[in-house]
Structure 1
């Protein structure tokens, strides 16, 4: 009889712990910093205001070909920039060299490079009558965070102050 009581008690404990565990897993993604709940969802990297790109804000739900969050595919209706208009000589040999225009030439869609917890960004640093210089940067994740060892090539959109026309696009990688 005593054995049966122990088995039933142990069974109730297992059921109670399982129910609590399932409830905590459902609440985990909503947990934020300082909530006291351990979350396996990686936090978004924090970008200091001074280094935040101004020409390509992350805008959820932006229109195709408009500046917004990086995407894996080139927006529909984009036109590949001719090689003669692209100066990518400052990029490392293994860096992608793809630039497309959209929205009448006022948006550049550039294939960037990021890895692990990094996030690729681009900024039109200088625009004049002959050229547009775009700085490509990879923002690193928080320190102490576990990251995968993969390389991704997202498409990053950059808004120009006027249509590109015949100007040359100069790509530079900033560290």
Structure 2
């Protein structure tokens, strides 16, 4: 009798795990069903250097901005300051810093004939959310109103928003 109880208990556990595994597949891959309202899995990726979410790799076609044209004096000494252009100079791709549940943000706050000021920040983490204590250095993209040309890129940092 004791072995029968263990056998039935083990069977129930296996049945529960198998059922949960099937539901997880539907939850993580909703586009695999036949629901016409579900988002398509064949979405078009953003064009190289297009503004959007932070990414781990430099977008293809990015050209480095000479170090003499990057003013990173307002950033902490250990903050990355690699800057690239794309799309004819109308997109700036640059290294940013983010950590835990926060994500890097970038915004062109001033654009003159002499310089472009880029404000780097992070999103605020949600209150009560558990987050890892890691640092990441993704590339973020910022659109400019006109090609960068010979203007200087001035980098500054704001508190999380």
Q: Give the TM-score band, short-chain normalised.
A: 0.7 to 0.9
Question: What corresponds to 2:35 in structure 1?
Answer: none
Equivalenced residue count is 144
Q: 4+ residue runs of structure 1 moved beyond 4 angstroms?
A: none
Question: What corresponds to 2:75 in structure 1?
Answer: 91
- Matching residue within 10, 21, 45 for 1:14: 10
Question: What corresponds to 1:167 in structure 2?
Answer: 151
Gaps (5+ residues) in structure 2?
A: 29-42
Instruction: After TM superposition, give the deviation of residue 10 of structure 1 in Å.
Output: 3.3
Task: Tell whether the 8 Å contact from 1:60 to 1:69 is kept in structure 2 after alignment.
Answer: no
Question: What corresponds to 1:150 in structure 2?
Answer: 134
- Matching residue within 78, 93, 102 for 1:118: 102
Say what the alpha-carbon RMSD is for the aligned residues: 2.0
Question: What corresponds to 1:47 in structure 2?
Answer: none
Task: Tell whether the 8 Å contact from 1:110 to 1:156 is kept in structure 2 after alignment.
Answer: yes
Cα distance in 2, alignment partners of residues 84 and 60 from structure 1: 36
Gaps (5+ residues) in structure 1?
A: 32-58
Question: What corresponds to 2:23 in structure 1?
Answer: 27
Under a length normalisation based on structure 1, what TM-score does the superposition of the two structures give?
0.75
Under a length normalisation based on structure 2, what TM-score does the superposition of the two structures give?
0.81
Instruction: After TM superposition, give the deviation of residue 122 of structure 1 in Å.
Output: 0.4
**Of 139-148 and 19-28, the range deviating more from structure 2:** 19-28
